[in-house]
Amino acid sequence: VLLSVVLTAFVSPLFVWLTVFVGLNMLQSAFTGFCPAAMVFRKLGIKPGCAF
């Protein structure tokens, strides 16, 4: 989220949509327990931790 805010401030205002997308994904993950990013990280070979 912080990276997307920095990109919005210094690169292009259109990066605000990345911030919105990440924020909404985190919000829905908190309520449902389903996180698409966790599935992507798992497929990339990153070891699962307590958040996965």
Does the global pTM surpass 0.85?
no
Q: Is 23 helix (H, G, I), strand (E, B) or coil?
A: helix
pLDDT at 9 over 90: yes
Enter the tokens of residue 10.
Answer: 């210094």
- For position 51, what pLDDT does the model report? 59
Cβ atoms of residues 8 and 16 within 8 Å:
yes
